[in-house]
Amino acid sequence: MHISEGILTAPVLTGGAVLTTVGTAIGLKKLDYDRIMTVSLLSATFFVASLIHVPIGPGSVHLLLGGLLGLILGWGAFPAIVVALSLQAIFFQYGGMLVLGVNGTIIAGPAVLCGLLFHPLLTGTRKKQMTAGFLAGFCAMFLSAVLMAGALYLSDSGFLRVAGLVLASHFPVMLIEGVITMFVVSFLARVQPEILSLTP
Amino acid sequence: MIDEPFATGSTLFHKRDPKIKIIGTTAISMVLALCTSIPVAATGCIITAILLSFSRPNFKLLSRRLIQVNIFTLFIWITLPLTYGKGETIQLSFLNIHLDGIRMAALISLKTNGILFCFLALLATSSTSSLGHGLEKLGVPRKLSFLFLFTYRQLFVIHQEYLRLQRAAKLRGFTPNNSLHTYQTYSHLFGMTLVKSWNRGERIHQAMILRGFNGRLIPLTQPQPGKADYYFLFVMLLISLFLAGLSFVSVSQ
Amino acid sequence: MNTNPPLLELRNLTYSYPGQKGSLLQNINFTISKERIGFIGPNGSGKTTLFQIIMGLLQVDEGEILLHGTTIETDKDLFTLRKKLGFLFQNSDDQLFSPTVLEDVAFGPLNHGATPAEARNISIQTLEKLGLKGFEDRITHRLSGGEKKLVALATILSMKPEMLLLDEPSNNLDPATRERLIKILRSQDLPHIIISHDLDFLASTCAQLYTIQDQQLIRCKAKQIHSHEHIHPYGDQPHQHGT
Amino acid sequence: MNTNPPLLELRNLTYSYPGQKGSLLQNINFTISKERIGFIGPNGSGKTTLFQIIMGLLQVDEGEILLHGTTIETDKDLFTLRKKLGFLFQNSDDQLFSPTVLEDVAFGPLNHGATPAEARNISIQTLEKLGLKGFEDRITHRLSGGEKKLVALATILSMKPEMLLLDEPSNNLDPATRERLIKILRSQDLPHIIISHDLDFLASTCAQLYTIQDQQLIRCKAKQIHSHEHIHPYGDQPHQHGT
Ligand SMILES: Nc1ncnc2c1ncn2[C@@H]1O[C@H](COP(=O)(O)OP(=O)(O)OP(=O)(O)O)[C@@H](O)[C@H]1O
Ligand SMILES: Nc1ncnc2c1ncn2[C@@H]1O[C@H](COP(=O)(O)OP(=O)(O)OP(=O)(O)O)[C@@H](O)[C@H]1O
Ligand SMILES: [Mg+2]
Ligand SMILES: [Mg+2]
């Protein structure tokens, strides 16, 4: 789930950069220094998720878990994800600095949106919690794929069919993200509900 | 797995100030990213390859990195010639190959690799922590560079923690397959890592408070860029200008 | 071929960590069938490394590992070996990852083909045997250090291993839990290898001692009686001695 | 009021964790001025908790803490107390958070008003004193366990504390680093309180021992010479005794 630098046009790159800057700024504003260490650790954990390969069908995919981070951190997920992405860029050269804006919007935007949207469900029964987890994971990934396809299409309408391909190929990933997020939410709710801002 | 294999070395590139290198990378990769002509992209790719060779990267590691990134390019080469453009096509048995698509795929490959070379030559030759400090000096908000530096510091600890749990699962006969049990196990491994991270965050926060931290991160002064750094910056900007000029000429033709 | 090959045999094992000059372990030969063995030796001599090699977590440079006379080669052999040898980590926090105790203890049996109902039964029995009845639904992460150690032991015993490898099991245990562990290990009818710096613990649980010296695994002279005196202030407090 | 109040005084401290029934610590009274004191006692008796209370990380239910005769009340008092008492955590990974060693050691001085240049000098000196010269630009997470412990100590010493609180400092150290730490602690002209289960370590670094029994902090009988004999097989191997 990364777009590399050579594909997008200036308007799309600029648009992504602006959106990511705004999102990060809001996230940072809502984040006081008392929480910054926790957010750093979660950001690092998010990075580690991208090193976990989960089998699906004959192949495997690596996790993203943006929706989960959104549930835990709300707006704080935005800077956390941007930092993790920039570290990935440095370590693995998956997409450079210029596309950081676009990649940030693609991944962190849906993560925050889904986190805020589904968090209220977490206060409900176990079943509701798991539903919230699944939806957050699935929808965040779905929206990310839509945004990615959109960024490609906006750059060059000739990419239309490729964009469709990207969207379709991410469908299994959405399911995996949903299922894993569901189980992790259920794990956290039992083991340490404070992480989800729930009272034990 | 997480490592900075290119950051050690003592070449001209390793010695440059990280701020300068960040500016240089941004300038060159911006010109490359926005260019639309194959000759310009090819020229850029050659120049950045030369830059990269000056930083003397480990060849084996370099080729591995190149292969990783070019798996994506391969995807482009498979899809674009079949889907991109309306112009001439070549009939290859039952496939319609679009020439526009091939042109586009070539352009993207050149740009992607050019930017990658530039990145490896300039940024990968600095340690991540010095880049973090460099970002702060360049006006990135302090909270963000703070987050960046601490996240970097914790990556290794957390990754190790995850790997140890994964090992425990393996020893108890866990063999990943397409099953709900597999997904649940990964969730538990990750969930436990998350719980540990959360609690560690709390303890580290205490450690910071005990050392007088009150919400303001005071940087320890970093070395200032010297004359050589400014010359270096000048050359990098010159390269970007040259490429930008070439683009301009090729567009107006 | 032997009519009765040993449970575990190490032949000419040599190992060095990548990038290390010189071997950490050289030409290790060792067999165990029914014995209860202790490994003692200075920090960094390679005891934990040897356990990791046996469990197939590290690849040896040379030599082979045999289980019941069969060399471990394929992934399937390794899977079997990991079922038959139960490895207790030095740090229980690295070993427990399920939300509740029961889920953690049932994890091994489930992976080795037990049905959920069977796994549950085995787990409950194992917990009972270790005096952990009623712990089934406790959150593993919130247990005390000693309780975690015993639950970690349960996660291994539920796989019905034929032998135990225990890495410093008595570390950070308070005296009561330590005694309980000794009792449990004695009542198990299983051979084991225990790494420990705690000689009293080894004396109560093992019949033979080995040590690692000059990259070699050496058997200590049997039952050499040793006596020394020590004098210090505050000896009336429960205490332990450094290496 | 005393003409010379003690460096640190605890008066009638009572503490229980939220949601716990009964107090963990009850009516603790304690003073220290120049002494070198060891805390020993069973797991879970509240030793680490007591350190956290002293450092103002946990709020007591009752009682007060006095530094040089002044009760700690305001945030400013607390800030001063945290500078004057250096607390070494049990786990160094929880204490080191900067990418490089120098940044970590300079963190305290910078927060306490040193200029970057001063902080850098103090840090370099502190590192030198601990035999860590040349470690300035090392990446903290790549250090070995023993090196991390010494760097963690440096991060505290660079704040020029008047007293040290050390939580199980000798844990997981190899014998050489352990000896080095003993030498360092002896050469420091600072009072300290050390929590440890390792009596030899305490004997080499402390002159008095306290223990926690029945929620109370009790001073052990001074210099009671204790002698016992032990006999066991394999005593020729380096070893330690369990609690
Ligand atoms: N992953 C690794 N890479 C390189 N060297 C390692 C690694 N793990 C351990 N070592 C080194 O190998 C040596 C043996 O380590 P090992 O953990 O096996 O010792 P040990 O005998 O178990 O010691 P202890 O009594 O302290 O547990 C040590 O010097 C250690 O530093
Ligand atoms: N955050 C917490 N919430 C509730 N109980 C806690 C918490 N931290 C510790 N405890 C409990 O308080 C008791 C004292 O813990 P503490 O860590 O102070 O013991 P200790 O004497 O340092 O033991 P050890 O020798 O094992 O380090 C233990 O029973 C522990 O389970
Ligand atoms: Mg070991
Ligand atoms: Mg403690």
Residues D83-114 pLDDT 10s = 999 999 988 989 999 888 999 999 999 999 99
Alpha-carbon gap, residue C191 to C179, rounded angstroms: 19
Ligand 2 atom with the smallest distance to the CA of D197 is: 25
Supply the Cα-derived Rg of chain A in whole angstroms.
16
Position C82 pLDDT exceeds 70: yes
Query: At residue D32, what are phi and psi to the nearest 5 degrees?
Result: -145, 140
* Segment 7-46 of chain C within 8 Å of chain D by CB: 40-44
pLDDT of residue C222: 61
Instruction: Spell out, as residue ranges, where chain B has pLDDT lower than 70.
Output: 1-2, 221-222, 253
Q: Report the C-alpha gap between A100 and A93 in whole angstroms.
A: 11
Distance D50 CA to ligand 3 centre (A): 30
- Is D2 a pocket residue for ligand 2 (Cβ < 6 Å)? no
Q: What are phi and psi of B246, to 5 degrees?
A: -60, -45
Q: Closest chain C residue to B168 measured between Cα atoms?
A: C95
Looking at residue D240, its pLDDT comes to 52
Whether the CB-CB separation of A66 and A107 falls below 8 Å is answered with yes
Q: What is the pLDDT of residues B204-238, one digit of tens each?
A: 999 999 999 987 778 776 678 889 999 999 999 99
pLDDT digits (tens, 9 = 90+) for C173-196: 877 888 999 999 999 889 999 998
Q: How many degrees, rounded to 5, is the angle at CA A55 between CA A54 and CA A56?
A: 115
Number of H helices, E strands in chain A: 8, 2
**Ligand 1 center to C49 CA (angstroms):** 6
Is residue B91 exposed (0-12), middle (13-18) or buried (19+ Cβ within 10 Å)?
Answer: exposed
Examine the pLDDT at D78 and tell me if it is beyond 60: yes
**Number of the ligand 1 atom closest to the C-alpha atom of C197:** 25
Nearest-angstrom CA–CA distance, C186 and C123: 20
Q: Does D155 touch chain B (CB under 8 A)?
A: yes
SS3 (DSSP) at C190:
coil
* Ligand 1 atom nearest to CA at C90: 27
Unique residue bearing structure tokens 């949601």: D19
Q: Quote the distance between the C-alpha of residue C42 and its chain's center.
A: 18
Which protein residues have a CB closer than 5 Å to ligand 4 (ion)? D 48
CA torsion D69-D71-D72-D77 (nearest 10°) is -60
Beta carbon pairs, A and C, within 8 Å = 10
Q: What confidence category does residue C243 fall into, taking pLDDT thresholds of 50, 70 and 90?
A: very low
Phi/psi at A25 (nearest 5 deg)?
Answer: -65, -45
Q: Are strands C25-32 and C192-195 parallel, antiparallel or unpaired?
A: unpaired
Query: What is the DSSP secondary structure assignment for residue C98, as one 8-state letter?
Result: S
Q: Closest to B173 (Cβ–Cβ): which among C89, C95, C111?
A: C111
Residue D237 maps to a domain: no
Confidence of residue C2 (pLDDT cuts 50, 70, 90): low
Task: Say what percent of chain D tops pLDDT 70.
Answer: 90
Judged by CB atoms closer than 8 Å, whether chains meet at C229 and D226 is answered as: no
Q: What is the pLDDT of residues D126-148, one digit of tens each?
A: 999 999 999 998 888 888 888 99
Q: Where are the alpha helices (DSSP H) in A30-99?
A: 36-49, 66-73, 77-92
CB of D17 closer than 6 angstroms to any ligand 2 atom: yes
- Chain D hits for C242, CB-CB cut-off 8 Å, are 170, 175, 178, 198, 200-201, 240
Interface touch D222/C233, C-beta < 8 Å: yes
Token readout for A40 is: 């750093």
Nearest to A144 by CA among A83, A63, A73, A88: A63
Those chains having 3 or more beta-carbon pairs within 8 angstroms of chain C are A, B, D
The H or E element that residue A166 is part of is: helix A160-169
The residue of chain C nearest to residue B194, with distances taken between CA atoms, is: C97
Residue of D80, D97, D115, D156 for testing the chain B interface, max B β-carbons within 10 Å: D97
**Chain B from 158 to 217: CB within 8 A of any A CB:** 158-159, 162, 176-178, 180, 182-184, 186-188, 190-195, 197-202, 204-205, 208, 213, 215-216
Number of domains composing chain D: 1
Which pLDDT score is estimated for D235?
Answer: 45
CB C60 within 8 Å of CB C14: yes
Map tokens 């005769």 to a residue.
D69
Asked if C51 is an interface residue toward chain B (Cβ–Cβ < 8 A), one would say no
Between CA B185 and CA B161 the distance in angstroms is 16
**Which residue ranges make up each domain of chain B?**
18-126+224-252, 141-210
CA of D196 from ligand 2 middle (Å) equals 15
Please choose from D143, D174, D240 the residue to mutate so as to test ligand 1's pocket, defined by most ligand atoms within 8 A of CB: D174
Provide residues of A within 8 Å CB-CB of chain C.
186-187, 190-192
pLDDT value of position C227: 36
In whole angstroms, what is the distance from residue B25 CA to residue B126 CA? 12
In this structure, of A72-81, A182-191, C13-22, C107-116, the range with the lowest mean pLDDT score is C13-22
Ligand 4 centroid vs D212 CA: distance in angstroms? 12
Interhelix angle B142-171/B128-137, nearest 10 degrees:
160
For residue A183, the chain C residue with the least C-alpha distance is C99
CB-nearest to B195 from A4, A182, A191 is A191
A12: tokens are: 């799309």
More confident residue, C121 or D19: C121
Ligand with an atom nearest the CA of residue D174: 1
Q: D67 forms bridges with which residues in the sheet?
A: D8, D70
Chain B residues lying within 8 Å of C148, measured CB to CB: none
Looking at residue D39, its amino acid is F
Ligand 2 near D44 CB (within 6 A): yes
Is D3 contained in some domain? no
Helix (H, G, I), strand (E, B) or coil at B118: helix
Give yes or no for residue D232 having a pLDDT over 70.
no
Provide the domain limits for residue D75: 8-219
Output the average pLDDT for chain C: 88
A68, amino acid identity:
L
| Alpha-carbon distance values, A88 to A75, B120, B166 (Å) | 21, 13, 22
DSSP state of A76: G
Distance separating alpha carbons of residues B98 and B90, to the nearest angstrom: 7
d(CA C238, CA C125): 34
- Helix and strand numbers, DSSP H then E, in chain D: 7, 11
**Domain CATH code at residue C13:** 3.40.50.300
User: D82 and B209: CB-CB below 8 Å?
Assistant: yes
- What is the complex's ipTM, to 2 decimals? 0.89
Evaluate whether residue C39 is within a structural domain: yes
The parts of chain A modelled with pLDDT lower than 70 are 1-2, 94-95
Distance D46 CA to ligand 4 centre (A): 7
Question: Which of C125, C126, C106 has the alpha carbon at shortest distance from C116?
Answer: C106
Is C141 in Cβ contact with A190 (below 8 Å)?
Answer: no
Q: What pLDDT sits at residue D141?
A: 83
For residues B82 and B75, the answer to whether their CB atoms sit within 8 Å is no
Supply the mean pLDDT for chain B. 89
Give nearest CA residue, ligand 2 atom 18.
D46
pLDDT attached to residue D153: 96
Q: Supply the pLDDT for residue A1.
A: 61
- CA closest to C142 among chain A residues: A191
Sheet with C8-15, side-by-side order of all strands: C25-32, C8-15, C62-67, C70-71
Distances (CA, A) of A33 to A37, B206, D91: 8, 12, 23
Q: How far apart are CA D60 and CA B243, in angstroms?
A: 67
What is the separation, in whole angstroms, between the first and last Cα of chain A?
35
Query: Does the beta carbon of C93 lie under 8 angstroms from any beta carbon of chain A?
Result: no
CA of C227 to the centre of ligand 3 (A): 27
CA A5 to chain centre: 19
C94 Cα: distance to centroid of ligand 4 (angstroms): 19
Q: Residue C18 falls within a domain, yes or no?
A: yes
Q: Is the pLDDT of residue D177 over 50?
A: yes
Min CA distance, B199 vs chain D (Å)? Answer: 10
Residue C214 DSSP symbol: T
Residue D214 lies in a domain: yes
- Give the fold, CATH level 3, of A10-196: Arp2/3 complex 21 kDa subunit ARPC3 (1.10.1760)
pLDDT of D239 above 60: no
For ligand 2, atom 29, name the residue with the nearest CA.
Answer: D44
Q: Do D60 and D53 form a contact (C-beta atoms < 8 A)?
A: yes
Nearest C-alpha neighbor of C88 from the set C13, C174, C212, C188? C188
